[in-house]
């Protein structure tokens, strides 16, 4: 999957009075010029503070949202242009699994009925083969065969997540997009569901996008990690590189603020300072500059593009980009918003 220049804004409701006065139409800038590649068969973790656009990105990738600008290509096909049957086929190949599958499970349908319905609607199996496939799916996600006859409310949170995963797998997807899949679960159950995802990813050769704010889980599960800040990808690299030698000052601060990470691998960077700016009023240049201990004049003037690093990975930070203007990283004149 290749994402290029993806931008998504949400208009903010303005009062009649404001409109009558000719006030500006305001919009939340949820994604700005996002570039990202997902390789076949890998797990890509997407991390960042709440509100940085992770869910909006995930939703744009499955066309729950249409982006304002930019392109998403999957296997060479332009996803943003898909309509009708082609879009349905794409949504079968690229499945989203949500934090709360309970809200999308019909409380009066048994798990067996839920899975059979998925198989029938998408014509995955003829009726005669559906029963065997349901049993197979339950085994795949570690649920007992007896689960088929039970209703969703009879299961715990972790088991319901397994049902959600089984329903997604019923459509034999190539790619799963898991948005905060385990955030609502207890820590011990989180580990079980995440390990299940790891096992399935390897066994079925799935491509997985794992959207989460829990860095521990992302580190455990992902081959590569993309770090987002205020609607932009600021760093993307192999997991070992992101966690062992983070380059972007935001990634460094994010890791420094995560208490549960291995202290030996923690950076000496100061934890995150100050408030996240409003997505209605994103700072000019580098959006992180107002909280960055290393910001200099150029950061306010020019938005850093994602640049490849010699050691692999990409970072969007002027500390690593060739100097084109007079300002240099040596000039640490802290910039105000
Ligand atoms: N449907 C919507 N209408 C208006 N604004 C929205 C909508 N969805 C998201 N936003 C805004 O877009 C920005 C990005 O939100 P998004 O949910 O994608 O972030 P996130 O990183 O997934 O956050 P979280 O971890 O809290 O879910 C936020 O400022 C949010 O308030």
* Gap from CA of 56 to ligand 1 centroid (Å): 6
Residue 228 lies in a domain: yes
Atom number in ligand 1 closest to CA 228: 21
Query: Residue with the nearest Cα to atom 28 of ligand 1?
Result: 51
Residue 327 lies in a domain: no
Q: What is the CATH number of the domain that holds 289?
A: 3.40.50.300
Inter-residue contact 69 to 248 (CB < 8 Å): no
Atom number in ligand 1 closest to CA 12: 4
Instruction: List all residues 6 or more positions away from 123 whose beta carbon is below 8 Å from its beta carbon.
Output: none
Neighbour-count burial for 115-125, b at 16+ CB within 10 Å, e otherwise? bbebbeeeeeb
Residue 324 lies in a domain: no
Residue 334 has a pLDDT of 39
Inter-residue contact 224 to 46 (CB < 8 Å): no
Query: Residue with the nearest Cα to atom 12 of ligand 1?
Result: 30
Strand partners, 3: 36, 72
* Gap from CA of 99 to ligand 1 centroid (Å): 15
Which residue positions in the chain have pLDDT lower than 70?
14, 18-19, 22-24, 101, 259-270, 322-337
Atom number in ligand 1 closest to CA 56: 18
* Gap from CA of 7 to ligand 1 centroid (Å): 13
Residue 43 lies in a domain: yes
Residue 207 has a pLDDT of 97
User: For 258-310, where are the E strands, in sequence order?
Assistant: 307-308
Residue 336 lies in a domain: no
Query: Residue with the nearest Cα to atom 3 of ligand 1?
Result: 10
* Gap from CA of 118 to ligand 1 centroid (Å): 29
Residue from 7, 34, 46, 56 whose mutation best tests the ligand 1 pocket (most atoms within 8 A of CB): 56
Query: Residue with the nearest Cα to atom 4 of ligand 1?
Result: 10
The count of structural domains within the chain is 1
Q: How far is CA 31 from CA 5, 52, 140, in A?
A: 9, 8, 35
Residue 121 lies in a domain: yes
Instruction: List all residues 6 or more positions away from 187 whose beta carbon is below 8 Å from its beta carbon.
Output: none
Residue 48 has a pLDDT of 93
**Which residues have CB under 6 Å of ligand 1?**
10, 28, 30, 48, 50-56, 213, 279
Residue 56 lies in a domain: yes
Query: Residue with the nearest Cα to atom 20 of ligand 1?
Result: 51
Q: For residue 247, give the 3-state DSSP assignment.
A: coil
Residue 328 has a pLDDT of 46
Query: Residue with the nearest Cα to atom 30 of ligand 1?
Result: 51
* Gap from CA of 64 to ligand 1 centroid (Å): 13
Rounded distance between C-alpha atoms, residue 73 and residue 71, angstroms: 6
Residue from 10, 230, 287 whose mutation best tests the ligand 1 pocket (most atoms within 8 A of CB): 10
Residue 330 has a pLDDT of 42
* Gap from CA of 299 to ligand 1 centroid (Å): 25
DSSP string, 54-112: HHHHHHHHTTSS--SEEEEEETTEEGGG--HHHHHHHHHHEEEE-S-GGGGS-TTS-HH
Residue 329 lies in a domain: no
* Gap from CA of 51 to ligand 1 centroid (Å): 5
Rounded distance between C-alpha atoms, residue 116 and residue 296, angstroms: 59
Domain of residue 140, residue span:
2-315
């Amino acid at each position: 999957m290749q994402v290029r220049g993806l931008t998504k804004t949400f208009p903010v409701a303005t009062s009649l009075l404001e409109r009558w006065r000719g006030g500006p139409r305001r919009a939340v800038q949820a994604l700005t010029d996002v570039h990202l590649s997902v390789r076949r068969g890998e797990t890509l973790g997407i991390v960042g503070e709440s509100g940085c656009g992770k869910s909006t990105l995930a939703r744009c990738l499955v066309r729950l949202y249409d982006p304002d600008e930019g392109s998403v290509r999957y296997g060479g096909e332009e996803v943003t242009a898909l309509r009708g049957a082609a879009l349905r086929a794409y949504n079968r190949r690229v499945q989203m699994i949500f934090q709360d599958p309970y809200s999308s499970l019909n409380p009066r349908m048994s798990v067996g009925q839920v899975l059979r319905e998925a198989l029938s609607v998408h014509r995955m199996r003829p009726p005669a083969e559906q029963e065997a496939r349901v049993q197979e799916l339950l085994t795949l996600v570690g649920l007992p065969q007896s689960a088929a006859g039970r209703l969703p409310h009879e299961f715990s949170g972790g088991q319901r997540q397994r049902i959600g995963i089984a329903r997604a797998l019923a459509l034999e997807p190539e790619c799963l997009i898991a948005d905060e899949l385990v955030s609502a679960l207890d820590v011990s159950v989180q580990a079980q569901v995440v390990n299940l995802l790891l096992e399935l990813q390897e066994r079925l050769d799935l491509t997985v996008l794992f959207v989460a704010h829990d860095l521990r889980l992302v580190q455990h599960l992902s081959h590569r990690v993309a770090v987002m800040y205020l609607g932009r990808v600021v760093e993307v690299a192999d997991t070992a590189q992101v966690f062992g030698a983070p380059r972007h000052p935001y990634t460094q601060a994010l890791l420094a603020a995560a208490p549960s990470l291995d202290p030996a691998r923690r950076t000496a960077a100061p934890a995150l300072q100050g408030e996240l700016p409003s997505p209605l009023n994103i700072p000019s240049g580098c959006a992180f500059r107002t909280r960055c201990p290393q910001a200099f004049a150029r950061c306010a003037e020019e938005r850093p593009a994602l640049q490849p690093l010699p050691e692999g990975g990409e970072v969007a930070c002027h500390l690593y980009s060739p100097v084109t203007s007079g300002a240099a990283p040596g000039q640490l004149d802290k910039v105000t918003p």
